[in-house]
């Protein structure tokens, strides 16, 4: 199975109703989409699972769109009581994801904390991630762990935590669960002192999902903040053509999404941002020797119209 050219709304800093996002994905020839499972659960509790997923299922049947994954929305830096409650809240979400056949979930490591020094906190995080992984494993869902390298994330915190690739690799491999792997963001990889040779050591089984982003040309990786993340270019701090070539060579079949900080494209329409993301990722895929699907001439006709937003 080929890798998924994936539309991740959150990675582009946009949101919308499920039908609107599906239409954007299909209009710009993405064959995968990340979905908001918290919204999906709320829909299913109001009616039932079939009704909640009807737009998604329509897109699956008519256009063979695949689900990339979903963000767990869990705060790994929360106090023990809050984390335990959040973990309990993941059970119905994971159960619904299993019912919908979703195979990947994502979370991100804290960049800094006020709770404990690095080595003690490392053990706390390893334990928490193991609990999350076990919860997902019984539903046959892989956990993709990412990290955040933005310099602003450690401001006001007593203890820095994982903001570099070396610590990131140690944490993910330290969890030791078979269903745990890397959610690689190439912006964080570059800002977090990562190099292509480290990425090239990762196997298809170790990678859950990939997000392609670039650092602004005028930015310094040593001091870069998260809002300096822009849509991916062919080269730069990490050669994206080499990234896709490696993923192809190892047989990676998961989602690859374009990403950028929403603040980078203020004043632009949602459709314009998605189109630019599509152009960026298509250029990279083409340069890596992959064939990209042409854009469809017509918008979605087979997906039911959703007249009102659901809060």
Quick: pLDDT tens for 123-182: 999 999 999 999 999 999 999 999 999 999 999 999 999 999 999 999 999 998 999 999
The pLDDT, as a whole number, for residue 264 is 80
What pLDDT digit, counting tens, does each position of 256-267 carry?
999 999 888 888
CATH of span 4-291: 3.20.20.150
The pLDDT, as a whole number, for residue 266 is 82
pTM of the model: 0.93
3-state SS, the chain, equals CCCEEEECHHHHCCCCCHHHHHHHHHHCCCCEECCCHHHHHHHHHHCCHHHHCHHHHHHHHHHCCEECCEECCCCCCCCHHHHHHHHHHHHHHHHHHHHCCCCEEEEECCCEECCCCHHHHHHHHHHHHHHHHHHHHCCCCEEEEECCCCHHHHCCCCEECCCCHHHHHHHHHHHCCCCEEEEEEHHHHHHCCCCHHHHHCCCHHHEEEEEECEECCCCCCCCCCHHHEECCCCCCCCCHHHHHHHHHHCCCCCEEEECCCHHHHCCCCHHHHHHHHHHHHHHHHHHCCCCCCCCCCCCCCCCCCCCCCCC
Mean of all residue pLDDT scores within the chain: 93
Residue 198 CB: number of other CB atoms within 10 A?
Answer: 14
Contact between 252 and 3 under an 8 Å Cβ cutoff? The reply is: yes
Domain segments of the chain: what residues? 4-291
The pLDDT, as a whole number, for residue 311 is 36
Low-confidence ranges of the chain (pLDDT < 70): 1, 297-311
The pLDDT, as a whole number, for residue 309 is 44
Contact between 280 and 34 under an 8 Å Cβ cutoff? The reply is: no
The pLDDT, as a whole number, for residue 74 is 97
């Amino acid at each position: 199975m080929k890798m998924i050219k994936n539309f991740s709304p959150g990675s582009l800093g946009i949101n919308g109703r499920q039908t609107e996002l599906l239409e954007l994905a299909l209009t710009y020839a993405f064959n995968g989409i990340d979905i908001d499972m918290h919204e999906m659960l709320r829909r299913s509790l109001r009616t039932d699972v079939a009704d909640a997923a009807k737009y998604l299922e329509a897109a699956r049947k008519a256009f063979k769109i695949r689900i990339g994954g979903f963000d767990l929305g869990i705060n790994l830096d929360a106090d023990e009581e809050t984390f335990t409650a959040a973990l309990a809240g993941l059970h119905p979400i994971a159960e619904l994801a299993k019912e919908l056949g979703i195979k990947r979930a994502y979370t991100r490591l804290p960049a800094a904390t006020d709770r404990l020094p690095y080595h003690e906190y490392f053990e706390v995080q390893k334990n928490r991630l193991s609990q999350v992984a076990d919860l997902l494993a019984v539903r046959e869902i892989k956990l993709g762990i990412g990290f955040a390298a933005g310099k602003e994330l450690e401001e006001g915190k007593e203890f820095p935590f994982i903001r570099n690739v070396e610590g990131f690799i140690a944490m993910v491999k330290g969890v030791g669960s078979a269903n745990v792997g890397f959610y690689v963001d190439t912006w964080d990889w570059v800002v977090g002192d990562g190099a292509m040779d480290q990425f090239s050591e990762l196997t298809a089984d170790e990678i859950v999902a990939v997000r392609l982003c670039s650092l602004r040309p005028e930015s310094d990786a040593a001091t870069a903040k998260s809002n300096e993340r822009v849509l991916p270019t062919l080269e730069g701090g990490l050669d994206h053509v080499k990234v896709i070539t490696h993923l192809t060579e190892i047989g990676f079949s998961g989602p690859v999404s374009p990403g950028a900080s929403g603040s980078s494209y203020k004043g632009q329409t949602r459709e314009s941002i998605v189109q630019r993301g599509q152009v960026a990722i298509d250029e990279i895929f083409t340069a890596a020797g992959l064939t990209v699907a042409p854009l469809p001439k017509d918008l979605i006709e087979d997906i039911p119209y959703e007249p009102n937003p659901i809060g």
